Structure 1
Amino acid sequence: MRIVIFGATGMVGQAVLDTCLRDQQVTDVLVIGRTPTGRVHPKLRELHHTDFTDFTAIQDQLAGYDACFFCLGISAVGMSEADYRVVTYDFTLAAARALLDANPDLTFTYVSGAGTDGSGKSRMMWARVKGETENALLELTPRAFMFRPAFILPLPGTKAKTKSYALLYRVLTPLYPVLRRIAPRYVTTSVQFGHAMLRTARGGVKRGVLDTADINELAASATP
């Protein structure tokens, strides 16, 4: 398989990239981003791109891929809805359209989040915008998958870019064994998350919107 990853320098993206590089069925990984990952691997190629609303300049380099794992995201704290929509909706849909133009059968797996609202009725701005993004992707292609994780235990040595998230993970990570016992449907690990993403690329996944319990089930059925 040949995989494209967005957001590979974030906490989730780092784990997904690591999983792809370790997987024997993945032959090539293209990371598209503004910041280098710092990784060196025979499978890995990085493409520097700054305008995530327009991929025309690199369109000729997007063909020949089987799946895209879109892990790019930003906290809505302190942002206006208009600015948050640009990053969350506009960036995602521009990437999906460019990749699907080049690869009509591409699997597009999007990292959303628990609490995302596809009905547009939520009072939480981020939930509405993410829900709108999910709906647009599901209409764009039948091979779109929305991952809605709650708590993800990160890989050792990885950390969230957003300070509030980093603090939250520092507090909750030591409590992971307890959380797993009392709320197993709401916790996963970054390793499980990466395997579940690859599972969507292999085909046969019928549900388009997947919560943490679904993600763990996919990971368990995946072939490392």
Structure 2
Amino acid sequence: MNTHTKVRTILTGATGMVGEGVLLECLNQPDVEQVLVINRKPCGVTHPKLKELIVKNFFDLSAIEDELAGYNACFFCLGVSSVGMKEEAYTEVTYKLTLHVAKTLVRLNPDMVFCYVTGAGTDSTEQGKSMWARVKGKTENELLKLPFRKAYMFRPGYIKPTKGQKNVHPFIFWLAPFEPLFKLFLSSYMSTVKDIALAMIHTVTIGSEKPILDVKDMNQLAKAK
């Protein structure tokens, strides 16, 4: 690992399972020296490395822009389920919101590494039948065009939370008894939140040649030295 590079990251989605797990791991890693969480509500975590800004409207960051400069990473874990949502509404909160935040950050931090959490099955062609996959694919494609130092698209499958996490979807607990079977037959689709967090940190300290990271790529990058 390049120990000369210290990670100063902005993090979104800290009240969700992935975001909370990434936050906790960042606070535990010596290569991360500062975390700025942008939330709509308090994340409930306190730490000397952590600063939190409460923002009611992510489409209007003008009041906090001065506090968003000076970071070399963004771990964008904010997202919503598409279940029950129309495409227009899902596009508003997935595509438009993400691109608005990203464009603001790249203007303030052109040397930033931007990591975006999408999901396995994301449709880069933007032409498939799955609405969420098309919208996520469009979001990925536009993020990769922005002039960040690097942008990485994270496509996790089944995610195992970190012990002690509070924000975990109930279905994760229902699936827990089947984890040994998943590891045996579906290991290429499994990762831990810790591995996702370490992979994100390593995009800054080490880097990856692949802009789109599937589960195998993430797990390998998490273990990189």
Same fold (TM > 0.5): yes
Q: Which of the two has greater helix per residue?
A: 1
Matched, 1:202 2:205: yes
Matched, 1:68 2:74: yes
User: What residue is the counterpart of 1:98 in the other structure?
Assistant: 104
Q: Select 2:136's aligned residue among 123, 126, 130.
A: 130
Q: Is the 8 A contact 2:17 2:165 kept in 1?
A: yes
For 1:124, the aligned partner's letter is S
Q: Which TM-score applies when normalising by structure 1?
A: 0.93
User: What residue is the counterpart of 1:181 in the other structure?
Assistant: 184
User: What residue is the counterpart of 1:5 in the other structure?
Assistant: 11
Shift of 1:159: 5.2
Quickly say closer, same or farther: Cα 1:175–1:75, change in 2 above 3 A: same
Write the deviation string for residues 57-88 of structure 1: whole angstroms up to 9, x where unpaired: 21111110010000000000111111111110
Write the deviation string for residues 18-49 of structure 1: whole angstroms up to 9, x where unpaired: 11101111111100011111111000000011
Matched, 1:146 2:149: no
User: What residue is the counterpart of 2:26 in the other structure?
Assistant: 20
Shift of 1:120: 1.2
Q: Distance in 2 between matches of 1:59 and 1:5?
A: 15
- The residue correspondences of 1:51-66 to structure 2 (distance < 5 A) are 51-66=57-72
Q: Which runs of 5+ in 2 are unaligned?
A: 1-6
What RMSD over aligned residues (CA atoms) do the two structures have, in Å? Answer: 1.3
Q: Is the 8 A contact 1:146 1:209 kept in 2?
A: yes
For 2:141, the aligned partner's letter is N
Q: Is the 8 A contact 1:88 1:130 kept in 2?
A: yes
Q: Distance in 1 between matches of 2:166 and 2:122?
A: 23
Matched, 1:86 2:89: no
Q: Which TM-score applies when normalising by structure 2?
A: 0.93
For 1:193, the aligned partner's letter is I
Q: Distance in 1 between matches of 2:198 and 2:207?
A: 14
Write the deviation string for residues 87-129 of structure 1: whole angstroms up to 9, x where unpaired: 1011111111111111101000000001100101211110000
Q: Distance in 1 between matches of 2:114 and 2:66?
A: 19
Shift of 1:140: 0.8
3-state SS, counterpart of residue 3 of structure 1: strand
Shift of 1:173: 2.1
* Number of residue pairs matched by the alignment: 218
3-state SS, counterpart of residue 27 of structure 1: strand
3-state SS, counterpart of residue 213 of structure 1: helix
Shift of 1:160: 4.8
3-state SS, counterpart of residue 221 of structure 1: coil
For 1:175, the aligned partner's letter is F
Write the deviation string for residues 156-203 of structure 1: whole angstroms up to 9, x where unpaired: 233556xxxx24212222222221121111001111111111111214
Runs of 4+ in 1 over 3 A off after TM superposition: none
Q: Which runs of 5+ in 1 are unaligned?
A: none
Q: Distance in 2 between matches of 1:129 and 1:38?
A: 31
Quickly say closer, same or farther: Cα 1:159–1:186, change in 2 above 3 A: farther
Q: Is the 8 A contact 1:2 1:28 kept in 2?
A: yes
